[in-house]
Amino acid sequence: MVSLKDIASECGVSIATVSKALNDHSDIGAETKTRIRKAAKDMGYVPNAAAKSMKTNRTHNIGVLFMDDANSGLTHDFFAGVLESFKREVEREGYDITFISNDRSRPGRATYLEHARYRRFDGVIIANVHFDDPEVVELVKSNIPVVTIDHIYNETTTILSDNVGGMSDLVDFAVQNGHNRIAYIHGAESATTNLRLVTFNRKLEEYGIEVPEEYIKESPYRDTHGAYERTLELLKLRTRPTCIFYPDDYATYGGMRAIAERGLKIPDDISVVGFDGIKVARHIRPRLTTYRQNTEELGTLAAKSLVALIEKPKTTLIQQITVKGWLLEGDTLKKLN
């Protein structure tokens, strides 16, 4: 194994100079740093992680806590997109990631905080969990740096998708195309759901459009069966909607199946609108009208924010950052005017 002494001998400098160059100390010139780093790379030098951890009191390991009602794991399109960019960014900063187990069926399991402390995580990112879960709250309130996705806690940095802007854009698009009988199958209760539902109702009120109580249904996110059942209920109404909004793109396809089974065509007989902008929605025909969440930016900002909290706690502000997405017009919303 190549040591600092070997690199020092190769470059004709002291061990201290090699150490400073590899750790980017300002008192080492740029030319010397470049020469030493090149030699280290050519010689196959690998930093001693244990020694580095002792020196910085950091493990360079970040915990990831994720759980959704559908138990979709990494097949969850939204989270997979966020995690991909998050992982890429933290690895660029020299960190690894480890998932925090959420299997509560195991006897003697550790709480989320106990797991995080046992693994000595430098920080944790939290997404798609039940944020009022006492174990989640305990972790958030601990002294471990935490960044949450799409849920605001006091004194915690949060990266938010623009749920208000996204729903506003979708309602505007539907109304401007002549729709005034719009139903909404929303997701299970959460901060995200509440933001979207309130925005949906507020925007239609601004347009002077009344939303019948029977036009509002609930079905879990990413649940095609639930969306299928709620869609059938809407289609049985005496005055059925001309357009149905769904909690996410994945659920929308359950609704589309119900519509097809009733012998109706999209968008000729009824229009549908999703939310997320998952990749498959861009390839299936008809192309889904939806709102594309910027998962790339969400993950990157979450990573940068968490690394800043870990490495510069005294100068990093707690903040809420909203990331805008964009409307994908697709082919599933009919122009009625």
pLDDT digits (tens, 9 = 90+) for 282-321: 778 899 999 999 999 999 999 999 999 999 999 999 999 9
pLDDT of residue 281: 75
Residues 141, 232, single domain; the answer is no
pLDDT of residue 51: 58
Residues 272, 180, single domain; the answer is yes
With respect to residue 55, please indicate whether it lies within any of the assigned structural domains.
no
- CATH classification of the domain holding 17: 1.10.260.40
Three-state secondary structure call for residue 64: strand
Burial class, 153, CB count within 10 angstroms (exposed 0-12 / middle 13-18 / buried 19+)? middle
pLDDT of residue 54: 56
Q: How far apart are CA 323 and CA 291, in angstroms?
A: 13
With respect to residue 331, please indicate whether it lies within any of the assigned structural domains.
no
Residues 117, 145, single domain; the answer is yes
Residues 218, 150, single domain; the answer is no
Tell me the per-residue pLDDT of 148-172, one tens digit each, with 9 for 90 and over: 998 888 889 999 999 999 999 999 9
With respect to residue 54, please indicate whether it lies within any of the assigned structural domains.
no
pLDDT of residue 50: 54
With respect to residue 332, please indicate whether it lies within any of the assigned structural domains.
no
Residues 238, 91, single domain; the answer is no
- CATH classification of the domain holding 300: 3.40.50.2300
Residues 169, 253, single domain; the answer is yes
pLDDT of residue 256: 97
pLDDT of residue 270: 98
Three-state secondary structure call for residue 118: helix
Residues 192, 134, single domain; the answer is no
Residues 180, 278, single domain; the answer is yes
With respect to residue 56, please indicate whether it lies within any of the assigned structural domains.
no
204 contacts: CB under 8 Å, gap ≥ 6: 171, 175, 182, 210, 211
With respect to residue 94, please indicate whether it lies within any of the assigned structural domains.
yes
263 contacts: CB under 8 Å, gap ≥ 6: none
pLDDT of residue 284: 83
pLDDT of residue 129: 76
Element (H, E) at 305: helix 295-311
Q: Which of 133, 137, 63, 67 is nearest to 102 (CA)?
A: 67
100 within 8 A of 135, measured Cβ to Cβ: no
pLDDT of residue 269: 98
Residues 157, 306, single domain; the answer is yes
Q: How far apart are CA 276 and CA 279, in angstroms?
A: 9
Let me know how many helices (H) and strands (E) the chain has, helices first.
12, 12
With respect to residue 337, please indicate whether it lies within any of the assigned structural domains.
no
Residues 143, 246, single domain; the answer is no
With respect to residue 126, please indicate whether it lies within any of the assigned structural domains.
yes
Residues 26, 104, single domain; the answer is no
Residues 234, 284, single domain; the answer is yes
> In the chain, which stretches have pLDDT less than 50?
none
How far does Cα 29 stand from its chain's mean position? 40
Number of domains forming the structure of the chain: 3
Range of the domain at 34: 4-47
Residue type, 196: R
Q: How far apart are CA 172 and CA 278, in angstroms?
A: 21
